[in-house]
Amino acid sequence: IENKSDQSLLDLLQEVHFADIAEILHELTLEEATYIIKLLDSEKTSDILTELDSDLRDNILRNLSAKEIAEELLELDTDDAADIIADLPESRKEEVISYIEDLDHAKDIVELLRYDEDTAGGLMAKELVKVNENWNVLTCVKEMRVQAENVTRVHSIYVVDDNDKLKGRLSLKDLLTTSTKTAIKDVYIPKVDYVNVHDSAEDVARIMSKYDLEAIPVVDEIGRLVGRITIDDIVDVIKEEAEKDYQLAAGITQDVEADDSIWKLTKARLPWLLIGMFGGLGAASIINGFQDAMELYPILLIFIPLIQATAGNVGVQSSAIVVQGLANDTIGGEIINRLGKEFLLGLVNGIAIATVVLLVSHFLFDTSYLVSVTIGIALITVIVNAAIIGTFIPIFLDKKGIDPAVATGPFITTSNDVLGILIYFLIAKVILGF
């Protein structure tokens, strides 16, 4: 396709959805991608740019002039435009903004840049349809036609007073079924959910998905309507949250993809491996400290992987349930009850596993009576301990205002590994008396 005539390429891409073109660009070289972006008109390319990975987008934008970027931004909603500008180097930001021809658009973008991207202010767009409570339905419909030009999708019509304070909303349905002379004052719905510009993106996502909202108005500190957030942005927030939790559970510092460079992947993965490594060295020290056991009961050593794997698995299970419960706000009741429950659960699982292990090891490894008792009691204790630690740490972190998701994965596995092995040898020492 590349290097053929521009016209045939244009015709080919004309009918393709921008999200699909964005996918194609990821497969091409940077030169080819830039070439295509420059070839297409800005109405299409601006949408493509919003769909690209930030790495590729930054590289393409580096090849465009400030004026070209400004033209792209003019085609975008303010929230998408602000997201793109926010990623530019400081020096280019002002240059690009100065090239934006529509001054209102530029002003809106500058306002959005003020907010942290993880807050409602960072998510919202300035495009919305608002009407004054003192208008009647006819004026309202006329005004809406003008405003709707700039708004891709009309969800709700927001009603404000003369000071721009949010008063309520008006549904399109009501507007369709009311006489044109009715005053807006008399028909609007005064109950409306809203968020503050400084609310966190997570909170906005929770409110919108709890109440099944498709758009929510955003107000500033004194209740003035300043923007709205639509559900498609929230879908992205929910996905990113889920991915972050998943990656933390797997021991990957957030925000890497399979196609990132080896250097970037190493930076994301190595620190967690080092945690595991120090845990492993800690465990080595513990075992090394029980020289007597190693000499008198070498059979104990072959069960180290079993103790360790079990402790790690139980800890991850317990912490995952708690982390998910915290994220969904479904963790209720007293912390002591929850720990009591995990204790019982650990006991049930522990006894089940210890029974199987004792039967198998008796036949397979011909373990003596006392060694069997040691292994059984150790397994149950280790499982109960791992369950309680796995439950306690995320709840504790959450109470301290730290994301409990960091407690899952290598962190909890490693601490349970080390503690499990210590418990194992201590119990062995008591029972076998070395």
293-332 residues near a second copy, rule: CB under 8 A? 294-295, 298, 301-310, 312-314, 316-317, 319-322, 324-325, 330-332
CB of 25 to a second copy, least distance (A): 12
Q: Which of residues 244-263 bind a second copy (CB under 8 A)?
A: 245-247, 249-252, 256-259, 262
CB nearer a second copy, residue 5 or residue 177? 177
Burial of 154 (0-12, 13-18, 19+ CB in 10 A): middle
Binding a second copy by CB under 8 A: which of 1, 10, 12, 277? 277
CB nearer a second copy, residue 40 or residue 56? 56
Q: What is the 3-state secondary structure (H, E, C) of the chain?
A: CCCCCHHHHHHHHHCCCHHHHHHHHHHCCHHHHHHHHHHCCHHHHHHHHHHCCHHHHHHHHHCCCHHHHHHHHHCCCHHHHHHHHHCCCHHHHHHHHHHCCCHHHHHHHHHHHCCCCCEHHHHCECCCEEEECCCEHHHHHHHHHHHHCCCCCCCCEEEECCCCEEEEEECHHHHHCCCCCCEHHHHCECCCCCEECCCEHHHHHHHHHHCCCCEEEEECCCCEEEEEEEHHHHHHHHHHHHHHHHHHHHCCCCCCCCCCCHHHHHHHHHHHHHHHHHHHHHHHHHHHHCHHHHHHCHHHHHHHHHHHHHHHHHHHHHHHHHHHHHHCCCCCCCHHHHHHHHHHHHHHHHHHHHHHHHHHHHHHHCCCHHHHHHHHHHHHHHHHHHHHHHHHHHHHHHHCCCCHHHHCCHHHHHHHHHHHHHHHHHHHHHHHCC
CB nearer a second copy, residue 110 or residue 331? 331
CB of 275 to a second copy, least distance (A): 8
CB of 407 to a second copy, least distance (A): 12
Report residue 48 as tokens.
Answer: 């493509």
CB nearer a second copy, residue 91 or residue 330? 330
Binding a second copy by CB under 8 A: which of 16, 189, 274, 402? 274
**Window of 4-12, 58-66, 102-110, 275-283 that interacts with a second copy by CB under 8 A:** 275-283
Distance between alpha carbon 433 and the CA centroid of its chain, in Å? Answer: 51
Q: Is 407 in the site for a second copy (CB under 8 A)?
A: no
Q: Is 284 in the site for a second copy (CB under 8 A)?
A: yes
CB nearer a second copy, residue 321 or residue 431? 321
Question: What does the alpha-carbon distance between residue 353 and residue 377 come to, in Å, rounded to a whole number?
Answer: 11
Q: Is 140 in the site for a second copy (CB under 8 A)?
A: no
CB of 99 to a second copy, least distance (A): 27
Q: Are strands 215-219 and 166-170 parallel, antiparallel or unpaired?
A: unpaired
Q: Which of residues 142-201 bind a second copy (CB under 8 A)?
A: 144-145, 148, 153-154, 172-173, 176-177
CB nearer a second copy, residue 34 or residue 308? 308
Q: Is 401 in the site for a second copy (CB under 8 A)?
A: no
Question: What does the alpha-carbon distance between residue 255 and residue 233 come to, in Å, rounded to a whole number?
Answer: 18
**Window of 19-27, 102-110, 130-138, 426-434 that interacts with a second copy by CB under 8 A:** 19-27
CB of 428 to a second copy, least distance (A): 14
Binding mask 27-56 for a second copy (x = CB under 8 A): x-----------------------------
CB nearer a second copy, residue 66 or residue 421? 421
CB nearer a second copy, residue 66 or residue 320? 320
Q: Is 234 in the site for a second copy (CB under 8 A)?
A: yes
CB nearer a second copy, residue 103 or residue 258? 258
**Window of 65-73, 84-92, 219-227, 402-410 that interacts with a second copy by CB under 8 A:** 402-410
Count of residues near a second copy by CB under 8 A: 108
Q: Which of residues 195-214 bind a second copy (CB under 8 A)?
A: 209-212, 214
